[in-house]
Structure 1
Amino acid sequence: MDTIKIGNFLRKLRKDKQLTQEQLAEQLNVSRRTISRWETGSNLPDLDLLIELSDFYQIELIDMLNGQTQCDREESIEESYKKIAQYTAEEKKVTLQAYHVLFVIGCLIFSVYFIMEWIHFDNSPIVDFIEGFCLGGSFGLLVLGAIVTSSKWKNICSFFQSNPK
Protein backbone atom coordinates (compact mmCIF):
# COMPACT_ATOMS: atom_id res chain seq x y z
CA MET A 1 0.00 0.00 0.00
CA ASP A 2 1.49 3.32 -1.10
CA THR A 3 1.06 5.62 1.92
CA ILE A 4 2.51 8.64 0.13
CA LYS A 5 0.09 8.23 -2.77
CA ILE A 6 -2.81 7.91 -0.32
CA GLY A 7 -1.55 10.95 1.60
CA ASN A 8 -1.35 13.04 -1.57
CA PHE A 9 -4.86 11.91 -2.50
CA LEU A 10 -6.18 12.90 0.95
CA ARG A 11 -4.51 16.32 0.58
CA LYS A 12 -6.09 16.77 -2.86
CA LEU A 13 -9.53 15.84 -1.56
CA ARG A 14 -9.20 18.29 1.34
CA LYS A 15 -8.05 21.10 -0.94
CA ASP A 16 -10.85 20.35 -3.42
CA LYS A 17 -13.30 20.99 -0.57
CA GLN A 18 -11.35 24.19 0.22
CA LEU A 19 -10.65 23.12 3.81
CA THR A 20 -7.61 23.79 5.95
CA GLN A 21 -6.06 21.00 7.96
CA GLU A 22 -7.48 22.56 11.12
CA GLN A 23 -11.01 22.69 9.71
CA LEU A 24 -10.85 19.04 8.68
CA ALA A 25 -9.36 18.09 12.05
CA GLU A 26 -12.31 19.75 13.79
CA GLN A 27 -14.75 17.84 11.55
CA LEU A 28 -13.13 14.49 12.43
CA ASN A 29 -12.28 15.26 16.08
CA VAL A 30 -8.55 14.72 15.58
CA SER A 31 -5.58 17.06 15.81
CA ARG A 32 -4.24 19.12 12.91
CA ARG A 33 -0.95 17.27 13.32
CA THR A 34 -2.77 13.98 12.70
CA ILE A 35 -4.15 15.33 9.41
CA SER A 36 -0.63 16.46 8.48
CA ARG A 37 0.77 12.98 9.17
CA TRP A 38 -1.90 11.42 6.97
CA GLU A 39 -1.20 13.82 4.12
CA THR A 40 2.57 13.31 4.24
CA GLY A 41 2.11 9.55 4.24
CA SER A 42 3.93 9.03 7.53
CA ASN A 43 0.76 7.63 9.09
CA LEU A 44 -2.64 6.50 7.85
CA PRO A 45 -6.05 6.87 9.48
CA ASP A 46 -7.66 3.93 11.23
CA LEU A 47 -10.23 2.04 9.20
CA ASP A 48 -13.14 3.68 11.00
CA LEU A 49 -11.71 7.13 10.17
CA LEU A 50 -11.15 6.08 6.56
CA ILE A 51 -14.82 5.15 6.35
CA GLU A 52 -15.76 8.51 7.87
CA LEU A 53 -13.47 10.28 5.38
CA SER A 54 -14.94 8.41 2.43
CA ASP A 55 -18.43 9.44 3.57
CA PHE A 56 -17.28 13.02 4.10
CA TYR A 57 -15.69 13.26 0.65
CA GLN A 58 -18.44 11.11 -0.91
CA ILE A 59 -16.05 8.65 -2.55
CA GLU A 60 -15.63 4.91 -2.30
CA LEU A 61 -13.46 3.47 0.46
CA ILE A 62 -11.41 1.52 -2.05
CA ASP A 63 -10.62 4.78 -3.84
CA MET A 64 -9.15 6.08 -0.57
CA LEU A 65 -6.99 2.96 -0.25
CA ASN A 66 -5.88 3.20 -3.86
CA GLY A 67 -5.15 6.90 -3.68
CA GLN A 68 -7.17 7.58 -6.83
CA THR A 69 -10.76 7.72 -8.00
CA GLN A 70 -12.57 4.91 -9.76
CA CYS A 71 -12.39 6.54 -13.17
CA ASP A 72 -8.58 6.41 -12.86
CA ARG A 73 -8.44 2.65 -12.26
CA GLU A 74 -9.73 -0.70 -13.42
CA GLU A 75 -10.07 -3.11 -10.52
CA SER A 76 -12.36 -5.95 -9.59
CA ILE A 77 -14.44 -6.08 -6.44
CA GLU A 78 -12.38 -9.01 -5.21
CA GLU A 79 -9.17 -6.98 -5.42
CA SER A 80 -10.91 -4.15 -3.56
CA TYR A 81 -11.87 -6.45 -0.71
CA LYS A 82 -8.33 -7.78 -0.58
CA LYS A 83 -6.98 -4.24 -0.15
CA ILE A 84 -9.43 -3.49 2.65
CA ALA A 85 -8.52 -6.77 4.36
CA GLN A 86 -4.82 -5.96 3.99
CA TYR A 87 -5.36 -2.54 5.58
CA THR A 88 -7.24 -4.11 8.51
CA ALA A 89 -4.53 -6.75 8.93
CA GLU A 90 -1.86 -4.03 9.08
CA GLU A 91 -3.81 -2.23 11.83
CA LYS A 92 -4.09 -5.46 13.82
CA LYS A 93 -0.39 -6.17 13.37
CA VAL A 94 0.56 -2.79 14.87
CA THR A 95 -1.72 -3.38 17.86
CA LEU A 96 -0.34 -6.86 18.38
CA GLN A 97 3.25 -5.58 18.26
CA ALA A 98 2.42 -2.97 20.90
CA TYR A 99 0.92 -5.67 23.10
CA HIS A 100 4.00 -7.87 22.71
CA VAL A 101 6.28 -5.03 23.79
CA LEU A 102 4.12 -4.34 26.84
CA PHE A 103 4.01 -8.03 27.70
CA VAL A 104 7.80 -8.45 27.49
CA ILE A 105 8.44 -5.35 29.61
CA GLY A 106 5.88 -6.54 32.15
CA CYS A 107 7.53 -9.97 32.32
CA LEU A 108 10.97 -8.40 32.83
CA ILE A 109 9.71 -6.18 35.64
CA PHE A 110 7.92 -9.11 37.27
CA SER A 111 11.14 -11.15 37.00
CA VAL A 112 12.99 -8.45 38.93
CA TYR A 113 10.29 -8.60 41.62
CA PHE A 114 10.45 -12.40 41.74
CA ILE A 115 14.27 -12.40 42.03
CA MET A 116 14.15 -9.83 44.81
CA GLU A 117 11.62 -11.94 46.72
CA TRP A 118 13.65 -15.08 46.15
CA ILE A 119 16.91 -13.55 47.40
CA HIS A 120 15.16 -12.16 50.54
CA PHE A 121 16.72 -8.73 50.75
CA ASP A 122 16.43 -6.86 54.03
CA ASN A 123 13.08 -5.20 54.39
CA SER A 124 14.38 -1.67 54.04
CA PRO A 125 12.07 1.04 52.72
CA ILE A 126 14.03 1.23 49.45
CA VAL A 127 13.77 -2.52 48.81
CA ASP A 128 10.08 -2.46 49.69
CA PHE A 129 9.59 0.46 47.28
CA ILE A 130 11.42 -1.32 44.44
CA GLU A 131 9.46 -4.55 45.03
CA GLY A 132 6.17 -2.64 45.14
CA PHE A 133 7.09 -0.70 42.02
CA CYS A 134 8.00 -3.89 40.15
CA LEU A 135 4.84 -5.71 41.21
CA GLY A 136 2.59 -2.71 40.48
CA GLY A 137 4.39 -1.92 37.24
CA SER A 138 4.07 -5.44 35.91
CA PHE A 139 0.38 -5.54 36.83
CA GLY A 140 -0.15 -2.09 35.28
CA LEU A 141 1.50 -3.16 32.02
CA LEU A 142 -0.70 -6.27 31.94
CA VAL A 143 -3.81 -4.09 32.30
CA LEU A 144 -2.49 -1.61 29.72
CA GLY A 145 -1.83 -4.48 27.31
CA ALA A 146 -5.41 -5.66 27.76
CA ILE A 147 -6.68 -2.14 27.02
CA VAL A 148 -4.46 -1.77 23.94
CA THR A 149 -5.82 -4.95 22.42
CA SER A 150 -9.44 -4.03 23.16
CA SER A 151 -11.68 -1.93 20.96
CA LYS A 152 -11.61 0.90 23.53
CA TRP A 153 -7.98 1.76 22.73
CA LYS A 154 -8.93 3.64 19.55
CA ASN A 155 -11.53 5.64 21.48
CA ILE A 156 -8.91 6.59 24.08
CA CYS A 157 -6.38 7.59 21.40
CA SER A 158 -8.91 9.66 19.46
CA PHE A 159 -9.95 11.42 22.70
CA PHE A 160 -6.38 12.54 23.39
CA GLN A 161 -5.78 13.48 19.74
CA SER A 162 -8.88 15.66 19.69
CA ASN A 163 -8.01 17.33 23.03
CA PRO A 164 -4.41 18.56 22.63
CA LYS A 165 -2.80 20.33 25.58
Structure 2
Amino acid sequence: MTVLAQQIKSLRKAKNMSQDDLAERLYISRQAISKWETGEATPDLEKLIVLADIFEVSLDVLILGKEEDLEDSSVSEPQALEQPKTFWEFLAEFWWIIFPVLGAVIWFIRSLVEILN
Protein backbone atom coordinates (compact mmCIF):
# COMPACT_ATOMS: atom_id res chain seq x y z
CA MET A 1 0.00 0.00 0.00
CA THR A 2 1.40 3.39 -0.99
CA VAL A 3 1.63 6.46 1.21
CA LEU A 4 -1.10 8.11 -0.86
CA ALA A 5 -3.41 5.11 -0.43
CA GLN A 6 -2.82 5.11 3.34
CA GLN A 7 -3.40 8.86 3.55
CA ILE A 8 -6.66 8.74 1.62
CA LYS A 9 -7.98 5.99 3.85
CA SER A 10 -6.84 7.54 7.15
CA LEU A 11 -7.99 11.06 6.25
CA ARG A 12 -11.36 9.73 5.08
CA LYS A 13 -11.82 7.88 8.35
CA ALA A 14 -10.68 10.94 10.33
CA LYS A 15 -13.51 12.89 8.67
CA ASN A 16 -15.96 10.07 9.52
CA MET A 17 -16.75 9.58 5.85
CA SER A 18 -17.63 6.34 4.14
CA GLN A 19 -16.25 5.46 0.72
CA ASP A 20 -19.73 6.22 -0.65
CA ASP A 21 -19.73 9.68 0.95
CA LEU A 22 -16.35 10.52 -0.53
CA ALA A 23 -17.30 9.12 -3.92
CA GLU A 24 -20.42 11.32 -4.00
CA ARG A 25 -18.40 14.44 -3.26
CA LEU A 26 -15.95 13.58 -6.06
CA TYR A 27 -18.65 12.45 -8.52
CA ILE A 28 -17.02 9.04 -8.99
CA SER A 29 -17.83 5.46 -8.03
CA ARG A 30 -17.22 3.88 -4.63
CA GLN A 31 -15.10 1.26 -6.40
CA ALA A 32 -12.70 3.99 -7.56
CA ILE A 33 -12.23 5.10 -3.94
CA SER A 34 -11.64 1.47 -2.94
CA LYS A 35 -8.97 1.09 -5.64
CA TRP A 36 -7.26 4.30 -4.49
CA GLU A 37 -7.20 3.07 -0.90
CA THR A 38 -5.74 -0.33 -1.86
CA GLY A 39 -3.17 1.21 -4.18
CA GLU A 40 -4.57 -0.45 -7.31
CA ALA A 41 -5.21 2.94 -8.91
CA THR A 42 -4.12 6.53 -8.39
CA PRO A 43 -6.32 9.64 -8.62
CA ASP A 44 -5.49 12.22 -11.26
CA LEU A 45 -4.22 15.68 -10.33
CA GLU A 46 -7.67 17.30 -10.37
CA LYS A 47 -9.03 14.68 -7.96
CA LEU A 48 -5.97 15.06 -5.70
CA ILE A 49 -6.61 18.79 -5.44
CA VAL A 50 -10.28 18.20 -4.58
CA LEU A 51 -9.29 15.50 -2.05
CA ALA A 52 -6.86 17.89 -0.36
CA ASP A 53 -9.64 20.46 -0.19
CA ILE A 54 -12.16 17.98 1.24
CA PHE A 55 -9.70 16.71 3.85
CA GLU A 56 -8.46 20.28 4.55
CA VAL A 57 -4.78 19.37 4.15
CA SER A 58 -2.00 20.39 1.79
CA LEU A 59 -1.03 18.25 -1.18
CA ASP A 60 2.24 17.45 0.63
CA VAL A 61 0.30 15.93 3.49
CA LEU A 62 -2.04 14.05 1.17
CA ILE A 63 0.53 12.68 -1.26
CA LEU A 64 3.69 12.37 0.82
CA GLY A 65 2.25 11.98 4.30
CA LYS A 66 4.31 14.92 5.59
CA GLU A 67 3.21 16.55 8.81
CA GLU A 68 2.27 20.20 8.47
CA ASP A 69 4.73 22.54 10.17
CA LEU A 70 3.04 25.39 11.96
CA GLU A 71 6.28 27.39 11.88
CA ASP A 72 6.52 27.16 8.10
CA SER A 73 2.94 28.12 7.40
CA SER A 74 2.24 31.61 6.14
CA VAL A 75 -0.18 32.20 9.02
CA SER A 76 2.06 31.93 12.04
CA GLU A 77 2.00 33.31 15.53
CA PRO A 78 3.64 36.70 15.98
CA GLN A 79 7.23 36.34 17.03
CA ALA A 80 8.19 37.45 20.49
CA LEU A 81 9.76 40.88 20.57
CA GLU A 82 13.49 40.69 20.97
CA GLN A 83 14.83 42.29 24.15
CA PRO A 84 17.51 44.94 23.63
CA LYS A 85 21.04 43.82 24.34
CA THR A 86 22.83 44.99 27.44
CA PHE A 87 26.15 46.82 27.04
CA TRP A 88 28.10 43.69 27.95
CA GLU A 89 26.17 41.49 25.51
CA PHE A 90 26.81 44.04 22.77
CA LEU A 91 30.49 44.23 23.70
CA ALA A 92 30.82 40.44 23.71
CA GLU A 93 29.33 40.26 20.21
CA PHE A 94 31.05 43.29 18.67
CA TRP A 95 34.36 43.48 20.54
CA TRP A 96 36.29 43.81 17.28
CA ILE A 97 34.76 47.27 16.68
CA ILE A 98 36.84 48.66 19.53
CA PHE A 99 40.11 48.46 17.57
CA PRO A 100 39.17 50.55 14.49
CA VAL A 101 37.31 53.09 16.64
CA LEU A 102 40.23 53.36 19.05
CA GLY A 103 42.65 53.71 16.10
CA ALA A 104 40.55 56.51 14.57
CA VAL A 105 40.39 58.37 17.89
CA ILE A 106 44.18 58.13 18.39
CA TRP A 107 44.81 59.30 14.81
CA PHE A 108 42.44 62.26 15.32
CA ILE A 109 44.09 63.28 18.60
CA ARG A 110 47.62 63.10 17.09
CA SER A 111 46.50 65.17 14.08
CA LEU A 112 44.93 67.75 16.39
CA VAL A 113 48.07 67.95 18.56
CA GLU A 114 50.28 68.48 15.44
CA ILE A 115 48.01 71.27 14.18
CA LEU A 116 48.04 73.05 17.54
CA ASN A 117 51.85 72.90 17.86
TM-score if structure 2 supplies the norm length?
0.55
Moved segments of 4+, more than 2 Å = 67-71
One-letter amino acid of the counterpart of residue 24, structure 2: E
Question: Which structure has the larger Rg over C-alpha atoms?
Answer: 2
Read off the aligned partner of 2:4 and give its amino acid letter: I
1:31 to 20, 29, 32: 29
1:42 deviates by 1.4
Instruction: Give the aligned residue type for 2:12.
Output: R
What's 1:69 paired with? 67
Decide whether the 8 Å contact of 1:21 with 1:36 is kept in 2: yes
Identity between Structure 1 and Structure 2 (%): 38
Structure 1 residue runs without a partner (length 5+)? 72-165
Alpha-carbon distance in structure 2 between the residues aligned to 1:46 and 1:7: 13
The match for 1:48 is 46
Q: CA deviation at 1:61?
A: 1.0
TM-score normalised over the length of structure 1? 0.40
Unaligned 5+ runs, structure 2: 70-117
2:7 alignment partner, SS class: helix
Conservation of the 8 A alpha-carbon contact between 1:7 and 1:67: no
Query: How large is the Cα RMSD of the aligned pairs?
Result: 1.7
Aligned length: 70
Task: Determine which structure has greater relative contact order: mean sequence separation of CA pairs < 8 Å that are 6+ residues apart, divided by chain length.
Answer: 1
